[in-house]
Structure formats: structure tokens, C-alpha cells
Amino acid sequence: MVAKSSAAAQYLEVTVNGEPGVLVIVDGAVITAVAVEVADGLLTGVRIVSSPDKLASIRLDQLT
């Protein structure tokens, strides 16, 4: 089952734990953080966090 949302998502390029990443923001809250690991110009890993408990500490006002 795929959940659908009527709210538009925003995407913010950030550094996540020292790696390039993106935050997915809906209604002013971060709902997903994605970090990509790159080595020798190649994508070697992708980490995705969607746990509200782990994302709750991200303050958007400190990122922009």
C-alpha cells in the first residue's frame, strides 16, 4: 500500500553526518533524511532515515 499526501514536499540539500544529503520537509517538519556515500566519484551507499524520533532534533531554522 502506498500512502498519499496532499501536502507538497520540499527538498533541502544539506550535509548529513559529513556526507551530501537531502532533507524531505512536509508542513514544516522533516519527514526523511537521505545521505549518500561517495568514493572515487561513485555512489557507494545510501542511508535513509524516516524515524520521527531520530528526526525530531533537526532544527530547520539553524540550517538555512
The C-alpha R_g of the chain, in whole angstroms, comes to: 13
pLDDT in tens, 8-32: 899 999 998 899 999 999 988 999 9
Q: Is residue 3 a part of any domain in this protein?
A: no
pTM reported for the whole predicted model? 0.80
pLDDT at 64 exceeding the cut of 80: no
Q: Is residue 42 a part of any domain in this protein?
A: yes
Q: Is residue 1 a part of any domain in this protein?
A: no
Q: Where does the pLDDT of residue 1 fall: very low under 50, low under 70, confident under 90, or very high at 90 and above?
A: very low
- Number of domains observed in the structure of the chain: 1
Q: Is residue 34 a part of any domain in this protein?
A: yes
Q: b/e per residue, 3-32, with b = 16+ CB within 10 A? A: eeeeeeeeeeebebeeeebbbbbeeeebbb
Q: Is residue 4 a part of any domain in this protein?
A: no
Domain range for 21 is: 10-58
pLDDT in tens, 28-44: 899 999 999 999 999 99
Q: Is residue 64 a part of any domain in this protein?
A: no
Q: What is the DSSP string of 1-64?
A: -----SSPPEEEEEEETTEEEEEEEETTEEEEEEEEEEETTEEEEEEEE--HHHHTT--GGGT-
Q: Is residue 37 a part of any domain in this protein?
A: yes
